[in-house]
A = this chain, B = another copy of it.
Amino acid sequence: MSPIVEAAALSLPRAMAAAAAEMDEALDALLPAVEGPEGRLYEAMRYATIGGGKRLRGFLALEGARQFGVSRNAALRVAAAIEMVHAYSLVHDDLPAMDDDDLRRGKPTVHRAFDEATAILAGDALQCHAFTVLAEEDTHRDPAVRAELVRGLSRAAGPRGMCGGQMLDMLAEYADEPLSESQVGRLQTLKTGKLIEFAAESGAILGKAPPQLRHALCLYGRELGAAFQIADDLLDATASADEAGKRTGKDAAAGKATLVGLLGPERARLQAERLVAQAKAHLDGFTERVDHLRMLADFTIQRRS
């Protein structure tokens, strides 16, 4: 049985776990343990990326690529690059000058396990290495595809994407006035939405998909990302740290504006459900292999961690 058929036959949690294991293998190969003095940097990069997290973004990239028959190796490289960027953002967000967190994915944050300087550098190097991986020929023989992946990932992660959203988040904490619903929506679109959207789109770029299918995956990712963020905030408001693998209740403690805080948990949950329905509707143009993406949309608001 080919890996593609095999994966399609699995239930979502098993498919995600299998994909996470494949991504760990890919990350292990792309971030080898290195001897000698700079080994510490690789060690911190590996600590931050391998063996943790739901791999939502990487899974989206893999499932998107699967729609278009992309080679597993190429899809895993793109998934790994996106997970490197996601991991770097967590390493830097956890720093004392940012959210000052001690726990991440159920273990000490990088600056706690190593030190602050190493955490800053490991984050910097992870972001950088993600672009090396995308730009290398092993990702796709067509350089136009590689250049487009770089452009897409860098825009999603840059000042008008993830970094811009994180800036808004920091400013909201400094400010006296709470953010409005539309401001919170914009913050979250930038901070987490853009990268999730790109992850969903990346498989279509890699598979040179027809524009209309690529756009549909993009919109699916956008709605999914918004639902995911609400679910994350609900989790932060209701789950224990043991369940979530990170400190919870911290949004309320920090006075952070979330849709859950603004709308209340009931209305927020309804909105997340509406977003999930919309996300699934964007998959209607696909005829097969989209079961996981449909299930993933539902899973987004059902998960407990």
Contacts and interface: CB of A to CB of B under 8 A. Distances in A.
B154 A118 contact: no
Contacts of A142: 143
A171 B125 CA distance: 16
A120 B97 contact: yes
Interface in A127-170: 127-129, 131-132, 134-136, 142-144, 146-148, 150-151, 154-155, 157-160, 163-164, 166-168, 170
B117 A98 contact: yes
Q: Tell me whether chain A's interface is mostly helix, strand or loop, or mixed.
A: helix
Contacts of A219: none
Interface stretch (A5-13, A37-45, A253-261): A37-45
B159 A118 contact: no
Contact of A118 (B40, B158, B170): B170
Nearest to A139: B147
A118, A129, A159 interface centre (most CB from chain B within 10 Å): A159
B121 A167 contact: yes
A22 to B, nearest CB: 23
Contacts of A89: 124
Interface residues of A, number: 52
A251 interface: no
B159 A38 contact: yes
Contacts of A123: 124
A82 interface: no
Given A128-B158, A128-B159, A150-B134, A95 B121 contact: no
Listed from nearest, the 5 A-B pairs whose CB atoms lie closest are A97-B116, A135-B151, A125-B163, A143-B144, A128-B158
14 contacts: A37-B168, A37-B183, A38-B164, A38-B167, A38-B168, A41-B163, A41-B167, A95-B120, A97-B117, A97-B120, A121-B163, A131-B150, A131-B154, A136-B151
Given A38-B164, A92-B124, A120-B120, 12 more contacts: A37-B183, A38-B168, A40-B167, A41-B167, A97-B117, A98-B117, A98-B120, A123-B124, A124-B163, A129-B158, A132-B154, A143-B147
